[in-house]
């Protein structure tokens, strides 16, 4: 145990420093873009952060610790090292910046604080040590006995050094989030948001159900609308990027090996067709309906599946069908023609295996990614995508944090670069489950009112939508009059190109499940209304509504008190996370980082 503590000490010094970050749920992959490009680095240095060198062995220890932690639960998959390296980089940068901020503020740790932390909150390297466990669980009494043992062989000086490194960071984090405060009003508002409910009868009139004469929307109408609705065309700094994906696909040897494994299953299935459901339950990696099977229109199948099933009759089993990243065996249960659509259908069971790229394939994809990036700098994304058969597309304009893109959520530094990098510049490769992404900055919109000449088409579309909304409001007003004379919801709605729905549960979040829409403005007005008759036409973000409150459920004070503490803690954690995230982003934006990783790693 003592030797294990010594061997792992350098790794844990960096890993345990992020416990607070994990607790707040904001640790993420990232850090692939920085303020300066890679260049000639001093020997053994992977980065310079605000002039402070970060040694390669610090990064390596962090990376190796992460790999070791991952391998406790499963093996590292080919190509997954790129994820772990990115996470290790993000961790090292974040911890370095935190340590620098703590020193700048004069935050340290006294010997008494270190000893107290060791006693009441031992670091993970200690709690995970087998010598301090009983029946697989950390034994605090055993730990205290060793801590107080004057003849202990545990390297306590190194453990204290670890705590001395991490404690100032923890104290800094506590200072950053100390400003988070929650009032009873905040708690009550969240409680009502979650627990106050309405049952509604609704008539919904979508503007898309109405046509307008678009030829009458000319320059004068566009300019007038633009001048009278500046709030619609103002916004924060936005960016637009091109995206290119180098797919992470298995090669022929990977496919061949997978087919060889599946061939034995195919032989068993053909020898005993009735065993197909049992074989699928055992071997299939993709869920399927084994009892009744899956029914699909034949022309909705992938080309490979359609060809593979072309000559397979009921009761028969197909050959192995190869898709891009999977292989399949199908057992056809029935074939027919849908009487309503007149389209050919097939019902089948399926055994499917995913095929992941092996080490050779991953190596080739990385080399291809590096080549594609160099070609894109000369030729652009379009020609490179055409040459290699890659997928490429241009994003819409988006503001910081509003891309709705999972990759940018996982790699926040990628997003930061998109708003700070040079127009036309191309990112490094960014790893994902589907392959390696490259991004190119195309355009930016400055904060404020957008120039009309840049958004002429958007303004015209807004004018057209406003005209359609006018027609939807007219239809809603006519429908309200018809309801007042006893008209039925469904027939009145249909007469106005709308639809009638009953929303059994609507809370203050604004989501109306029955209408398949989120309408916070409309729902807010209804919660504030005490009317027992049909509302006036209510214009929402996606449609115009008439609403009748059928039932209102107001929670009791006793219910509020029973959930008050839980809600308060949840809100406090949210506020702390928001404060910390905003502060850390500001520290990161101000940091001067020289990134030398390209001197050590390929894509």
CB atoms within 10 A of CB 342: 7
Q: Tell me, what's the pLDDT at 378?
A: 95
Residue 41 confidence (pLDDT): 62
Rounded mean pLDDT, 204-210:
96
| Residue 200 reports pLDDT greater than 60 | yes
With CA atoms as reference, report the closest residue to 247 among 79, 412, 122, 106.
79
Q: How far is CA 140 from the centre of its chain?
A: 38
The answer, yes or no, to whether residue 411 has pLDDT greater than 50, is yes
- In sequence order, which residues have a C-beta less than 8 Å from that of residue 88 and are 6 or more positions away? 59, 62, 63, 66
Q: Which helix (H) or strand (E) holds 8?
A: helix 2-15
CA 473, 475, 477, 479: dihedral to nearest 10 degrees?
-140
With 90 as the cut, is the pLDDT of residue 297 above it?
A: yes
> 3-class SS at 421?
coil
As a whole-number percent, the residues of the chain with pLDDT over 90 amount to: 62
pLDDT for the residue 475: 97
The string of pLDDT tens digits covering residues 366-385 is 899 999 999 999 999 999 99
Whole-number average pLDDT of the chain: 87
Closest CA to 118 of 100, 133, 102, 140: 140
For the segment 543-561, the average pLDDT, to the nearest whole number, is 95
221 and 322 Cβ atoms separated by less than 8 Å: no
Q: How confident is the model at residue 290 (pLDDT cuts 50, 70, 90)?
A: low
State yes or no: pLDDT of 1 exceeds 70. no
Tokens at residue 403, please? 């891309």
Question: 173 pLDDT exceeds 60?
Answer: yes
In the three-class reduction of DSSP (H, G, I as helix; E, B as strand; rest coil), residue 554 is classed as: coil
> How sure is the predictor about 86, in pLDDT bands with cuts at 50, 70 and 90?
confident
Provide CB contacts within 8 A for 24, sequence distance 6+.
573, 576, 577, 580
- DSSP codes joined into one string, 77-137: PTTTHHHHHHHHHHHHHHHHHHHHHHHHTT----HHHHHHHHHHS--HHHHT-GGGEETTE
**Residue 35: pLDDT above 90?**
no
pLDDT of 19 reads 31
Task: Flag whether pLDDT at 324 surpasses 70.
Answer: yes
- For the segment 244-280, what is each residue's pLDDT rounded down to a tens digit? 999 989 999 999 999 999 999 999 999 999 999 999 8
Please measure the distance between the N-terminal and C-terminal CA atoms of the chain and give it in whole angstroms: 38
Token reading at 567: 């809600």
| Residue 82 pLDDT > 80 | no
In this predicted structure, the answer to whether residue 505 has a pLDDT above a threshold of 60 is: yes
Domain 238-249+360-446 has CATH 3.30.70.270: no
The pLDDT-based confidence of 16 (bands split at 50, 70, 90) is very low
Give the model's confidence band at 20: pLDDT under 50 very low, under 70 low, under 90 confident, else very high.
very low
pLDDT at position 497 over 90: yes
Rounded mean pLDDT, 220-239:
95
Give 59-67's long-range contacts (Cβ < 8 A, gap of 24+): 59/88, 59/89, 59/92, 61/10, 61/11, 61/13, 61/14, 62/11, 62/14, 62/15, 62/88, 62/91, 62/92, 63/88, 64/11, 65/8, 65/11, 65/12, 65/14, 65/15, 66/15
Token pair recorded at residue 559: 């219910």
Sign of CA dihedral 133, 135, 136, 137: negative
* Residue 264 CA: distances (Å) to CA of 132, 251, 261, 283: 48, 21, 6, 11
- Tell me how far apart the alpha carbons of residues 79 and 363 are, in angstroms, rounded to a whole number: 8
The predicted model gives 337-361 an average pLDDT of: 91
Mean pLDDT of 169-195: 92
- Which has the closest alpha carbon to 432: 450, 409, 454? 409
pLDDT band at 36 (very low <50, low <70, confident <90, very high): very low
Q: Which two tokens stand for residue 383?
A: 């020609």
pLDDT at 25 over 60: no
Per-residue confidence band for 601, with pLDDT thresholds at 50, 70 and 90: low
Pick the more confident residue, 597 or 272: 272
Whether residue 459 has pLDDT greater than 80 = yes
> Worst-scoring range by mean pLDDT, 22-36, 43-57, 84-98, 284-298?
22-36
φ, ψ at 34 (rounded to 5°): -145, 175
- DSSP class of residue 569? H
CA gap 206, 473 in Å, rounded:
10
User: Per-residue pLDDT averaged across 467-495, rounded?
Assistant: 96
Average pLDDT over residues 163-185: 91
Is 75's pLDDT higher than 90? no
Which residue is it, tokens 């008539």? 203
Which residue bears the tokens 């609308």?
Answer: 225
> Is the pLDDT reported for residue 602 higher than 90?
no
What is the pLDDT, as a whole number, of residue 242?
97
Q: What pLDDT, on a 0 to 100 scale, did the predictor assign at position 288?
A: 61
CATH code of 2-179+583-599, in short, is 1.10.4030
Q: Determine the average pLDDT of the residues in 552-576.
A: 94
Residue 152 sits at the vertex; the CA angle it makes with 151 and 157, to the nearest 5 degrees, is 115
**The two structure tokens encoding residue 584:** 């850390």
Element (H, E) at 294: strand 294-297
Residue 269 C-beta-side C-alpha neighbours within 13 Å: 28
Query: What H or E segment, with its residue span, contains residue 392?
Result: strand 391-394
> How far apart, in whole angstroms, are the C-alpha atoms of residue 27 and residue 29?
7
Enumerate the domain spans of the chain: 2-179+583-599, 197-236+454-553, 238-249+360-446, 252-356
Contact (Cβ atoms closer than 8 angstroms) between residue 295 and residue 347: yes
With a pLDDT cut of 70, the percent of the chain lying above it is 91
């Amino acid at each position: 145990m003592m030797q294990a503590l010594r061997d792992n000490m350098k790794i844990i010094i960096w890993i345990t420093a992020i416990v607070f970050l994990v607790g707040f749920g904001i640790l993420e992959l990232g850090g692939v873009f920085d303020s300066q490009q890679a260049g000639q680095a001093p020997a053994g240095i992977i980065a310079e952060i605000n002039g402070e060198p970060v040694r390669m062995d610090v990064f390596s220890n962090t990376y190796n610790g992460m790999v070791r932690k991952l391998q406790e639960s499963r093996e590292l998959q080919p190509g997954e090292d790129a994820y772990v390296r990115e996470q290790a980089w993000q961790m090292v940068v974040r911890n370095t910046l935190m340590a620098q901020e703590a020193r700048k503020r004069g935050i340290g740790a006294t010997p008494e604080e270190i000893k107290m932390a060791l006693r009441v909150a031992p670091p993970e390297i200690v709690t995970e040590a087998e010598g301090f466990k009983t029946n697989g669980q950390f034994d605090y009494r055993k730990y205290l006995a060793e801590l107080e043992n004057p003849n202990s062989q545990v390297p306590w000086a190194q453990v204290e050094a670890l705590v001395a490194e991490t404690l100032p960071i923890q104290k800094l984090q506590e200072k950053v989030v100390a400003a988070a405060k929650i009032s009873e009003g905040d708690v009550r508002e969240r409680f009502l948001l979650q627990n106050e409910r309405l049952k509604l009868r609704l008539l919904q009139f979508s503007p898309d159900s109405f046509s307008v004469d678009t030829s009458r929307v000319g320059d004068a109408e566009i300019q007038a609308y633009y001048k009278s609705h500046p709030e619609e065309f103002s916004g924060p700094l936005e960016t637009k990027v091109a995206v290119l994906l180098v797919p992470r696909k298995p090669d022929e040897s990977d496919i061949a090996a997978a087919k060889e494994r599946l061939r034995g299953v195919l032989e068993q299935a053909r020898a005993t067709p009735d065993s197909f459901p049992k074989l699928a339950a055992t071997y299939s990696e993709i869920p399927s309906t084994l009892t009744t099977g899956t029914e699909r229109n034949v022309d909705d199948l992938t080309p490979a599946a359609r060809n593979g099933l072309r000559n397979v009759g009921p009761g028969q089993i197909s050959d192995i069908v190869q898709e891009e990243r999977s292989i399949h065996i199908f057992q056809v249960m029935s074939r027919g023609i849908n009487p309503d659509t007149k389209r050919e259908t097939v019902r089948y069971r399926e055994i499917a295996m995913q095929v992941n790229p092996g080490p050779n394939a991953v190596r080739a994809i990385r080399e291809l990614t590096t080549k594609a990036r160099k070609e894109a700098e000369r030729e652009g994304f379009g020609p490179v995508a055409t040459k290699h058969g890659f997928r490429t597309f241009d994003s819409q304009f988006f503001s910081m944090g509003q891309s709705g893109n999972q990759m940018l959520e996982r790699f926040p530094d990628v997003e930061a670069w998109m708003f700070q990098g040079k127009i036309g510049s191309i990112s490094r490769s960014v790893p994902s489950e589907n392959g390696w992404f490259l991004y190119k900055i195309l355009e930016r919109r400055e904060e404020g009112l957008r120039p009309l000449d840049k958004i002429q088409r958007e303004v015209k579309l807004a004018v057209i939508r406003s005209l359609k909304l006018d027609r939807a409001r007219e239809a809603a007003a006519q429908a309200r009059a018809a309801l007042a004379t006893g008209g039925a919801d469904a027939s009145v709605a249909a007469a106005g190109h709308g639809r009638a729905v009953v929303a059994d549960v609507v809370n203050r979040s604004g989501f109306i499940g029955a209408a398949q829409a989120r309408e916070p403005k409309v729902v807010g007005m209804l919660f504030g209304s005490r009317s027992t008759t049909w509302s006036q036409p209510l214009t929402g973000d996606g449609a115009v509504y008439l609403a009748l409150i059928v039932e209102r459920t107001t929670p009791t004070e006793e219910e509020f008190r029973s959930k008050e503490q839980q809600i308060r803690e949840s809100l406090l954690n949210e506020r702390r996370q928001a404060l910390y995230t905003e502060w850390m982003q500001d520290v990161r934006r101000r940091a001067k980082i020289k990134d030398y990783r390209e001197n050590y790693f390929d894509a």
